[in-house]
């Protein structure tokens, strides 16, 4: 599912009106009609007071049109207008006129806190103050209005986007954002819904189809897109009946040091469960027995050193390499990584301490094989790209690094981003239970395994992240968030593959975040 910027959505709006020969007020009628249908289906005429708070732009226009439709169907509605300026959009004015035609209870013009209504906890609040046209933080008494709404326990439904959030810009003032329980967004979700600082304001959303021009939506390059099951399923390659283990790649995994051998055990098990044909594990001598006992399927290649990694021989040409898990950052290890990069052309997975070493020796960037996948956790990412000011600055820094060195970098989080040259993919699986030790080692093993099997690097990254999140979801469903461990995620990798091919129930909530 594509994510468009506010600018692209305005353009889609314009082209739709032009091609379908409708006015923007007609489009607003369609949009408000979808919100009305959603509410009406759930409320079935219930006489719960609905308070609709409108701004003076088109988001306010949506609120007015919705108010009229609800009144026409006998609902108990109060409409309020935040009258903080004389400015009004054309569609707002048209709908302001239309609502006055259907009720004597005209919208109440609010010009300060004295006009704020009392809201009963069981009432419903509809937030139509600002939509994607927000250009600055909400200030003055309008911010007080937002605080007033947020102080109410009443259910809050945001139209298009919670007021105070920018569709694709940083959060300007976290206090001045409506804490909506649910957001009904038009056509496609907004970027803000998926990034940590703004996504917290959008616990649930649904995208309502308002019939924007399909050609525009198909042909326009989005700012990002969400990875859902059908896409991952389309990447999956069936196995040939006559294939053998040599057809599924030989992964070399290098890492571990004294006290951190568990990372390599987790990565190795995850790699094998994800399907690579052969796995060789390169560990310091002290890790040999641990690995051979915990992962009997893997071959082990001991380092010259007892406790750390000092050389990673690749003269036997592994299909691909995954390096860095629990590896430590000793000087001899840095040298081993430099040599590994110099001797390897094919893309590899670079994780954990290998990333920390690159951060310390920035000139190593130039020798990373193109197409490699970097899997930093937030701390490692900060060391790689420097301190960011907000989520968008973070994405921009990562994008630049990807472009400059032709790399794929993961930005891990509630919705992990896979960023590659010219592309941002937003993962849709995963849960807070996965914020646990070793979860990242499992992921690196999975991605390395997919890469070894011949999946393109970008596809290996997207698939690995999706399947890892899906395995984590299954673990959380069975165990609860707290009991999810990396081993539990790993043991459900098989389920995550099987789930790809499970029959879907007919969709009820097209864009639900959950
Ligand atoms: N495009 C589509 O696909 C469709 C869009 N539709 C709907 O239109 C919505 C977008 O409407 P919109 O462009 O009129 O913007 P909206 O957010 O209502 O308000 C902008 C006004 O607020 C003002 N303003 C901004 N920030 C402010 C602040 N902090 N404090 C005070 N004022 C502030 C700003 O003033 P300015 O910045 O110009 O000074 C301007 O006057 C969209 O979200 C959706 O609901 C659907 O109906 C149909 C399909
Ligand atoms: K809104």
Return the exposure string of 238-270: e unless at least 16 CB atoms fall within 10 Å of the residue's CB, then b.
eeeeeeeeeebbbbbbbbbbeebbbbbbbbbbb
- 186 Cα: distance to centroid of ligand 2 (angstroms): 11
136 is in an annotated binding site: yes
Percentage with pLDDT > 90 across the chain: 96
Does ligand 1 have an atom closer than 6 angstroms to the CB of 502?
A: no
- 62 Cα: distance to centroid of ligand 2 (angstroms): 9
Q: Which residue reads 């995954």 in tokens?
A: 322
Q: Whose CA is nearest to atom 26 of ligand 1?
A: 134
* Residue 419, Ramachandran bin (φ over 0: left; ψ between -120 and 50: alpha; else beta): beta
Beta strand 250-254 pairing with 320-323: parallel
Does ligand 1 have an atom closer than 6 angstroms to the CB of 4?
A: no
Instruction: Concatenate the DSSP letters of all residues of 46-107 into one string.
Output: ----EEEEE-SSHHHHHHHHHHHHHHHTT--EEEEEE---S---HHHHHHHHHHHHH-SSPP
Per residue in 209-258, pLDDT tens?
Answer: 999 999 999 999 999 999 999 999 999 999 999 999 988 999 999 999 99
Residue boundaries of the structural domains of the chain: 2-222, 230-236+247-500
- 59 Cα: distance to centroid of ligand 1 (angstroms): 6
- Burial class of 133 by CB neighbour count within 10 A (0 to 12, 13 to 18, 19+): middle
131 is in an annotated binding site: yes
Q: Which of 292, 294, 301, 309 is nearest to 251 (CA)?
A: 301
- Burial class of 347 by CB neighbour count within 10 A (0 to 12, 13 to 18, 19+): buried
The length of the chain is 514
Q: How far is CA 413 from CA 57, 269, 345, in A?
A: 34, 23, 30
- 413 Cα: distance to centroid of ligand 2 (angstroms): 26
Q: How far is CA 298 from CA 122, 165, 259, in A?
A: 60, 50, 20
What tokens does 410 get?
A: 């993961």
Q: Whose CA is nearest to atom 41 of ligand 1?
A: 57
Point out the ligand 1 atom lying closest to the alpha carbon of residue 212.
3
112 is in an annotated binding site: no
Sheet bearing 205-208, strands edge to edge? 108-110, 77-82, 50-54, 124-128, 155-159, 182-186, 205-208
Helix pair angle (391-405, 378-385), 10° resolution: 60
3-state secondary structure of 30: helix
- 191 Cα: distance to centroid of ligand 1 (angstroms): 17
Name the residue of 92, 131, 144, 202 to mutate for ligand 1: max ligand atoms within 8 A of Cβ. 131
Q: Whose CA is nearest to atom 22 of ligand 1?
A: 57
Could you give the CA distance from residue 312 to residue 332 in angstroms, rounded to a whole number?
11
Q: Whose CA is nearest to atom 43 of ligand 1?
A: 131
383 is in an annotated binding site: no
62 is in an annotated binding site: yes
Looking at residue 510, its pLDDT comes to 47
Name the residue of 22, 59, 158 to mutate for ligand 1: max ligand atoms within 8 A of Cβ. 59
For residue 140, the ligand closest to its alpha carbon is: 1
Does ligand 1 have an atom closer than 6 angstroms to the CB of 75?
A: no
Q: How far is CA 392 from CA 167, 224, 395, 399, 414, in A?
A: 12, 12, 5, 10, 16
Q: Are 408 and 230 in contact, with CB atoms under 8 Å apart?
A: no
Could you give the CA distance from residue 70 to residue 47 in angstroms, rounded to a whole number?
11
Angle in degrees, CA 91, 25, 73, rounded to 5: 95
Name the residue of 15, 56, 128, 132 to mutate for ligand 1: max ligand atoms within 8 A of Cβ. 132
- 62 Cα: distance to centroid of ligand 1 (angstroms): 10
135 is in an annotated binding site: yes
Q: How far apart are the first and last CA of the chain?
A: 15
Give pLDDT < 50 ranges for the chain. 510-512, 514
Does ligand 1 have an atom closer than 6 angstroms to the CB of 284?
A: no
Does ligand 1 have an atom closer than 6 angstroms to the CB of 62?
A: yes
Point out the ligand 1 atom lying closest to the alpha carbon of residue 137.
29
Does ligand 1 have an atom closer than 6 angstroms to the CB of 359?
A: no
Point out the ligand 1 atom lying closest to the alpha carbon of residue 132.
43
CATH topology of domain 2-222: Rossmann fold (3.40.50)
Give the phi and the psi of residue 296 in degrees, each rounded to 5.
Answer: -65, -20
In CATH terms, are 2-222 and 230-236+247-500 the same topology? no
Could you give the CA distance from residue 443 to residue 445 in angstroms, rounded to a whole number?
5
For residue 87, the ligand closest to its alpha carbon is: 1
Could you give the CA distance from residue 308 to residue 327 in angstroms, rounded to a whole number?
7
160 is in an annotated binding site: yes
Looking at residue 512, its pLDDT comes to 47
Strands (E), 133-249: 155-159, 182-186, 205-208, 224-227
Does ligand 1 have an atom closer than 6 angstroms to the CB of 89?
A: yes
Angle in degrees, CA 459, 465, 470, rounded to 5: 120
- 380 Cα: distance to centroid of ligand 2 (angstroms): 36
Point out the ligand 1 atom lying closest to the alpha carbon of residue 135.
26
- 163 Cα: distance to centroid of ligand 2 (angstroms): 4
Looking at residue 184, its pLDDT comes to 98
Beta strand 320-323 pairing with 182-186: unpaired
Instruction: Enter the CATH code of domain 230-236+247-500.
Output: 3.40.1190.20
């Amino acid at each position: 599912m594509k994510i468009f910027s506010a600018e692209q959505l305005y353009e889609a709006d314009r082209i739709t009106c032009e091609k379908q020969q409708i006015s923007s007020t007609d489009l607003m009628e369609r949009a408000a009609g979808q919100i009305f249908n959603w509410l009406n289906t759930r409320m079935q005429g219930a006489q719960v007071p609905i308070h609709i708070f409108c701004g003076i732009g088109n988001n306010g226009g949506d609120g007015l049109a919705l108010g009229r439709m609800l009144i026409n169907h006998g609902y108990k509605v109060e409409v309020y207008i935040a009258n903080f300026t004389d400015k009004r959009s054309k569609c707002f004015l048209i709908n302001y006129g239309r609502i006055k035609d259907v009720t004597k209870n005209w919208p109440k013009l609010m010009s300060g806190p004295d006009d704020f209504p009392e809201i009963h906890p069981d009432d419903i609040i509809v937030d139509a103050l600002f939509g994607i046209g927000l250009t600055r933080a909400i200030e003055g008494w309008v911010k007080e209005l937002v605080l007033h709404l947020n102080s109410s326990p009443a259910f809050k439904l945001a139209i298009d986007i919670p007021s105070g959030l920018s569709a694709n810009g940083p959060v300007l003032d976290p206090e001045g954002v409506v804490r909506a329980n649910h957001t009904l967004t038009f056509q496609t979700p907004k970027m803000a819904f998926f990034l940590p600082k703004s996504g917290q304001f959008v616990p649930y959303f649904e995208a309502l189809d308002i019939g924007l021009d399909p050609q525009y939506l198909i042909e326009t390059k989005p700012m990002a897109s969400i990875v859902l099951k059908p896409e991952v399923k389309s990447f999956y390659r069936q196995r040939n009946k006559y294939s053998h283990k040599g057809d599924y790649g030989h992964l070399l995994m290098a890492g571990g040091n004294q006290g951190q051998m568990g990372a390599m055990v987790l990565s190795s098990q995850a790699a094998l469960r994800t399907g690579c044909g052969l796995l060789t594990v390169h560990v310091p001598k002290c890790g040999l027995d641990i690995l051979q006992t915990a992962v009997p399927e893997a071959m082990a290649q001991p380092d010259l050193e007892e406790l750390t990694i000092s050389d990673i021989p690749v003269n036997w040409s592994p299909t691909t390499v995954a390096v860095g898990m629990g590896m430590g950052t000793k000087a001899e290890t840095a040298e081993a990584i430099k040599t590994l990069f110099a001797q390897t052309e094919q893309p590899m997975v670079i994780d954990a301490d290998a990333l920390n070493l690159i951060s310390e020796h920035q000139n190593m960037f130039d020798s990373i094989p193109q197409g490699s996948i970097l899997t930093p956790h937030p701390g490692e990412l900060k060391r790689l790209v420097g301190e960011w000011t907000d989520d968008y600055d973070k994405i921009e820094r990562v994008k630049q690094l990807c472009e400059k060195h032709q790399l794929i970098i993961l930005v891990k989080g509630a919705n992990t981003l896979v960023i590659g040259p010219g592309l941002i993919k937003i993962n849709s699986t995963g849960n807070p239970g996965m914020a646990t030790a070793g979860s990242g080692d499992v992921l690196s093993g999975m991605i390395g395994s997919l890469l070894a099997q011949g999946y393109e690097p970008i596809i290996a990254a997207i698939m690995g992240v999706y399947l890892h999140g899906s395995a984590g979801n299954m673990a959380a469903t069975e165990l609860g968030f707290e009991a999810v461990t990396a081993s539990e995620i790993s043991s459900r990798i098989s389920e995550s593959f099987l789930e790809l091919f499970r029959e879907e129930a007919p969709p009820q909530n097209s864009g639900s975040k959950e």
